[in-house]
Amino acid sequence: MSEFLQQVINGISLGSIYALIALGYTMIYGILRFINFAHGDVFMVGAFIGYFVAPHVISLTGGSLWIAAPIVLIVTMVGCSALGVTIEKLAYRPLRSRPKLTVLITAIGVSFFLEYGGQLVFGPDPKLFPTLIPSSSLINTQHVVIGTNSIVVILTAIVLMLLLRFIVYNTKMGTAMRAVSFDHRVASLMGINIDSVISFTFVLGSGLAAAASLLYASVYPSINPLMGIFPGLKAFVAAVLGGIGNLAGAALGGLIIGITETFVSGYISSSYRDAIAFAILILILLFKPSGILGRHDRDKV
């Protein structure tokens, strides 16, 4: 029972990180209808920005992590947002009216570029991520341990998700985003500037990926240029699982993948973990192709 409880906490903590990445995937998909394969690598770049920025910030703030961490978070989010918008402008925008497949391949190209470029610039060896979240155990019994890490991860994820929800549903830009995701043409007829909405979406998505990367790196403090591949892929699976284009779905999908993976690792075998995430995905798609919370697109005749 105690083992079970521990696994649930491990799972939620991992799942909320997946959820943050998945939100970026799902928003970009909702607006542009293509899989931004480079999203996982934006996540990776976020971790490296944090790696380079954090020591300076920490020394400037006199070592107080409670002040330093939010500053690093903001700097990283700004950095990743700038990267996301740049990628969109340079690589995706020229292709906006082209077949989705072309954009998909371009996204794969961008992903390779960031990974191999990262190996070149940052070096291929793993780096130790500095401590941003003061690590101690909140609950520490013989069998169950809950550290500040897990709690901070879960709380930050919840706050960011609520913030995102507020932006999407209660601001003018959010309304414009929803309009664009519904129909580009109609939205532009309504006087919405599609370009700025898309840029804004990349700002939000990449910012969330940046936050996720800091949380991830704080819990698992080894970062390297290829670290984005699997979390990115899993997050995408989570987005599809929840119903791609659906914010609540992405969060739910992230949690499901995180918890399932943890349970499979703990009770069956971690060697099947990567396969299990995909197996769930395939089953869901076979029985409910639009995902758990997704709406079904009907082929218009």
Partner 1 sequence: MRLHKSGLMLIAAIVTGFAISRFEHLINPYYYQVLIYIGINIILASSLNLINGFAGQFSLGHAGFMAVGAYTSAVVTSQLHFASSSMLNTAAFSLALLLGGIVAAIFGLLVGIPSLRLKGDYLAITTLGFGEIIRVIVQNLDFLGGARGFTGIPKLTNFVWVFSTVAIVILLVSNLINSTYGKSFLAVRDDELAAETIGISSTRVKVIAFVTGAFFAGVAGALYAHFVTYINPAQFSFLKSFEIVVMVIIGGMGSIFGVILSAILLTILPEMLRSVAQYRMVVYSLLLIVIMITRPRGLFVRTRTAKQSVALKTLR
Partner 2 sequence: MKTYSGILAALFTTLVILGCGGGDKGDEILIGEFGSLTGTTATFGQSTHHGLELAVEETNNAGGVLGKKIRLLVEDDQSKPEEAATAVTKLITRDNVKAIIGEVASSRSLAAAPICQQFKIPMVSPASTNPEVTKKGDFIFRVCYIDPFQGEMLARFMYNSLGFKKAVILKDVKNDYSVGLAQYFRQTFESLGGTVVAEQAYSEGDSDFKAQLTALKAAEPEAMFVPGYYIEGALIVKQARELNMTMPIVGGDGWDSSKLLEVGGQAMNNTYFSTHYSTDDTAAAVRSFVTKYSARFNERPDAMAALGYDAGLILFDAIRRAGNTDGTAIRDALAATSDFTGVTGSITIDERRNARKPLVILTVENASLKYKESIQP
Catalog residues that contact partner 2 under the rule CB under 8 A: 3, 6-7, 10-11, 14, 116, 119, 123-126, 128, 135, 137, 140, 142, 145, 147, 216, 219-222, 224, 226-227, 229-230, 261-267, 269-271, 273-274
Query: Per-residue DSSP letters for 84-136?
Result: HHHHIIIIIGGGTTS-HHHHHHHHHHHHHHHHHHHHHHH-SS-EEPPP-S---
**Residue 109 interacting with partner 1 (CB under 8 A):** yes
**Residue 188 interacting with partner 1 (CB under 8 A):** no
User: Of partner 1, partner 2, none, which one does residue 6 interact with (CB within 5 to 8 Å by kind)?
Assistant: partner 2
Minimum distance of partner 2 from residue 38's CB (angstroms): 18
Eight-state DSSP code of residue 62: T
**Residue 295 interacting with partner 1 (CB under 8 A):** no
User: Of partner 1, partner 2, none, which one does residue 298 interact with (CB within 5 to 8 Å by kind)?
Assistant: none
Minimum distance of partner 2 from residue 258's CB (angstroms): 9
By the 8 A CB rule, do 45 and 80 touch?
yes
User: Of partner 1, partner 2, none, which one does residue 126 interact with (CB within 5 to 8 Å by kind)?
Assistant: partner 2
> What is the CA 25 to chain-centroid distance, rounded?
7
Which whole-number Å values give the CA distances from 146 to 4, 185, 258, in the listed order?
13, 50, 17
From residue 61 to residue 90, the character string flagging contacts with partner 1 as x (rule: CB under 8 A) and all else as - is ------------------------------
Eight-state DSSP code of residue 77: H
Q: Are strands 145-147 and 137-140 parallel, antiparallel or unpaired?
A: antiparallel
**Residue 269 interacting with partner 1 (CB under 8 A):** yes
Minimum distance of partner 2 from residue 1's CB (angstroms): 11
Of positions 52, 85, 167, 274, contacts partner 1 by CB under 8 A: 274
With CA atoms as reference, report the closest residue to 28 among 124, 96, 127, 75: 96
The Cα–Cα gap between 188 and 96 comes to 15
Instruction: Decide whether 196 or 222 has the Cβ nearer to partner 2.
Output: 222
Minimum distance of partner 2 from residue 144's CB (angstroms): 9
Q: Which helix (H) or strand (E) holds 147?
A: strand 145-147
